[in-house]
Amino acid sequence: MRGIVQGVGFRPFVYNLAQRLNLAGYVLNDSSGLIAELEGAPAAIEAFLQALGSEHPPLAWLQDRAVTSLPPNGDREFRIRPSVAETGKFALISPDIGTCAACLADCTDPGNRRYGYAFTNCTNCGPRYTIIRDIPYDRPHTTMAGFTMCAECRAEYENPADRRFHAQPNACPACGPVLSAETAKSPSLARIDRLKPVPPIAEAQRRLAAGEILAIKGLGGFHLACDARNPAAVARLRARKRRSDKPFAVMVGSLEAARELCMVDDAAARTLSGPRRPIVILPRRRSAGLPDGIAPGNPTLGVMLPYTPLHHLLFRKNTVTGQEACPTALVMTSGNLSEEPIVVDNQDARERLGGVADWFLWHNRDIYMRADDSVVRMFEGNERVMRRSRGYAPETLDVGRDLPELLACGGELKNVFCLTKGTHAILSQHIGDLENYETLVFFEETLANLKKLFRVTPRAVAYDLHPGYLSTKYALELAGLEKIGVQHHHAHIASCMAENGLTGEVIGVAMDGTGYGPDGAIWGGEFLLAGYAGFERRAHLRYVPLAGGDAAVREPWRSALGHVGAAEQLVVSIPEKRLRAVERMIATGTNTVMTSSCGRLFDAVAALTGLRYEVNFEGQAAIELEAIVDPACEERYEFDIAGEELDFRAMMERIVKEAAAPSVVAARFHNTLAAAIHEMCLRMRRETSVGRVCLSGGTFQNMRLLGLVARALRASGFELFLHRRVPPNDGGIALGQAVIAAERMK
């Protein structure tokens, strides 16, 4: 049997089923999945095979099974045999799973031996990917190896009827990991803290209530936490973390508490409380009473529910101390500085987070693989993954055909890489922005780990054509592998195709920030007729000059200048010297590139409405423009299609001339862009007879634009394909690189 069948209670399930049906034989984990040998009445074996498909444990996923007949050997009983490892074989590894209801009940029941125990788990929940060092998935291959089970835990672990049968991280207060605490102020105080009789969770609650910033060790790394309702604490965290405007995620104790902060429909409620426990970006309630510093200028809020017993316990009244001060909402942001990878190690936390946190709440179970919180948005009642990490990775995507073993290195921003094995595309967890050494080290560590876990020996490496990307440089330096360069937006579209199991050709609409074009321009508003084997660029947004490289991304007014020249709106707001300097750069072509970027078009509109002249992270202006749209406004501007170019000059002129209310401009702009995309797809369908459309690229994180485009295309009879589990942004391109490279290797 293959699929996610290890570490999810599959062997006890098989054992119990065999007992029930009076079958003899054995079951074991091997490196590629699960093997069972059965002996008994043919009807019982038939019943067994039926039940296998219909009754399997909640976290298991049975991909396929092979059945062979063997001569009987007279077995009388059914046993669970030790795992065997075989070289070259691999098994799928479960992502980390949020605490199940039964375990939550255990650790909140004063009569239970795990009452108050922060590391309670079972075969249905708990850490997996983040603690696994190698396969087969057995305790010695995890970071639980150093903890010897007590007699009671051992009995559970060995009892096939128990929920904790072969639960590798099984533990209790007598034998498992323990919480401890340390103050960031001085080592001598730290000792006192450790001697204090107050349980660490109660002390953490007290400090959070007092406005302190805590570094809390979680499943895939440290969080920095503070009381989300305390404006001073939130402001202090923002200042110390050097995180200027990026929104903080908030953790609340229950669905009810989430509903007080945000609009939560049924689909969002299911995602929030499901076993993957991502951060869900939801419309924020004005009445929520959270300080604006949580997510400045943002009408949405990223919310998640507790996913470890430690989190659950933080939100509960502590009956040991009788303390009432449990927080109702906590900022839970990645424990890192600026754009560095999330901290996983206690010593590292002391050094790197010591200047941010007042106090550390940590434990002695090591995190082997770091994994940030995943981020999803809801669209048409489904979750759309924007950042794919804890709870999702390293789940593989079955592309339905055998691929050669290869590595796709991904992009620069929001890096994710991809390995292939058999029919599986193995996407890494979110690595981050490959702009510093620490992130590159994280990339390399994760790559080594996934190659080992999945037994991948790449024959080729796929990379983005941008020569400046660290991921590209990394790929080109690998010795002995075939090198396959893939255009950025082709990769976006191929990624959407692969996720949806498409072959043949599609109309690919890639709306994006930046991607390297083979003509030397920066692409980012592309209409491709694409398949895995290649693409034809049928149209794109009109090229405009963009001056200043990276500065152009930080200063949206430069994009506006490229689109409309020195409009009144810019002249009154930008210092004249700077404006003239950039004008000269554009006129002379100095440090200026031509771009068809859709992200920069958003920037230009945001600057002309006065919304944003400068941003602190890429996409900020676009997010704010989406946020202010007047939903009642259905008007739009004119646009032109001239040859290959989609031309928005008429729109930009009207925006400059009319100086309408920003919410109206934002609405008309979204409507215009959607209408133009729709019109271009109609034209491509007339010319090519292709009626399938794939939408990809970072701009389609904009749910308003995605909704407008999707409705228009469906109404015109297009077959529409969107991303679901693979991010539409650069976090998804490695998948596209992999399937394109596989095609080229044929």
Applying CB under 5 A, the residues found at the interface with Zn ion are 100, 103, 122, 124-125, 150, 153, 172, 174-175
Q: Which helix (H) or strand (E) holds 676?
A: helix 662-688
**Calpha distance 31→12 (Å, rounded):** 18
How many other C-beta atoms are found inside a 10 Å radius of the C-beta of residue 659?
Answer: 15
Break the chain down into helix, strand, coil percent, rounded to 5.
35, 20, 45
Question: Measured from the CB atom, is 150 or 675 closer to Zn ion?
Answer: 150
Q: How far is the CB of 169 from Zn ion (least distance, A)?
A: 10
Report the C-alpha gap between 418 and 414 in whole angstroms: 13
**Least separation, in Å, of the C-beta of 121 and Zn ion?**
5
Burial class, 329, CB count within 10 angstroms (exposed 0-12 / middle 13-18 / buried 19+) = buried
CB nearer to Zn ion: give 108 or 503. 108
Do residues 23 and 45 make contact, with C-beta atoms less than 8 angstroms apart? yes
CA 106 to chain centre: 30
Residue closer to Zn ion (CB basis): 83 or 124: 124
CB of 355 to Zn ion, least distance (A): 37
Tell me the closest approach of the beta carbon of residue 591 to Zn ion, in angstroms.
Answer: 57
Q: Minimal CA–CA distance to 677: which of 623, 560, 598?
A: 598
Please give the single-letter amino acid code of residue 146: G
Give the whole-angstrom CA distance, residue 261 versus residue 303. Answer: 9
Distance CA 397, CA 420 (A): 10
How far, in Å, CA of 179 to CA of 173, rounded?
10
| Phi-psi region at 381: left, alpha or beta (left = phi > 0; alpha = psi -120 to 50) | left
The separation between CA 554 and the C-alpha centre of its own chain, rounded to angstroms, equals: 24
Q: Which is nearer to Zn ion, 111 or 400 (CB)?
A: 111
**In the complex with Zn ion, which residue's Cβ is closer, 169 or 548?**
169
Are 171 and 153 in contact by the 8 Å Cβ rule? The answer is: yes
CA 504 to chain centre: 28
Beta carbon of residue 52, minimum distance to Zn ion (angstroms, whole number): 22
Tokens at 141, concatenated: 């291959």
| Least separation in angstroms between CB 103 and Zn ion | 3
Tell the smallest beta-carbon distance from residue 732 to Zn ion (Å). Answer: 31
Helix or strand holding residue 321 (H, E): none
**CB of 157: closest distance to Zn ion in angstroms?**
9
Q: Cβ of 286: how many Cβ atoms within 10 Å?
A: 7
CB 509 within 8 A of CB 677: yes
Q: Which is nearer to Zn ion, 9 or 727 (CB)?
A: 9
Closest of 208, 213, 205, 181 to residue 319, by C-alpha: 205
CB of 176 to Zn ion, least distance (A): 6
For Zn ion, the closer CB: 150 or 745: 150
Q: Which is nearer to Zn ion, 1 or 153 (CB)?
A: 153
Task: Give the residue from 388, 532, 499, 404 showing the smallest Cα distance to 461.
Answer: 404
* Backbone Cα Rg of the chain: 27
* Choice between 138 and 464, CB closer to Zn ion: 138
**Considering the complex, what minimum distance in angstroms separates the CB of residue 152 from Zn ion?**
6
Which residue, 147 or 362, is less far from Zn ion as judged by CB? 147
Shortest distance (Å) from residue 179 CB to Zn ion: 15
The distance of closest approach from Cβ of residue 250 to Zn ion in the complex, given in angstroms and rounded to an integer, is 25
Q: Which helix (H) or strand (E) holds 313?
A: helix 309-314
| Token output for 40 | 């008994």
Nearer to Zn ion, 105 or 642 (CB): 105
**Cβ nearer to Zn ion, comparing 122 with 385:** 122
Tokens of 497: 């195709």
Which residue, among 301, 305, 274, has the nearest Cα to 290 in the 3D structure?
Answer: 301
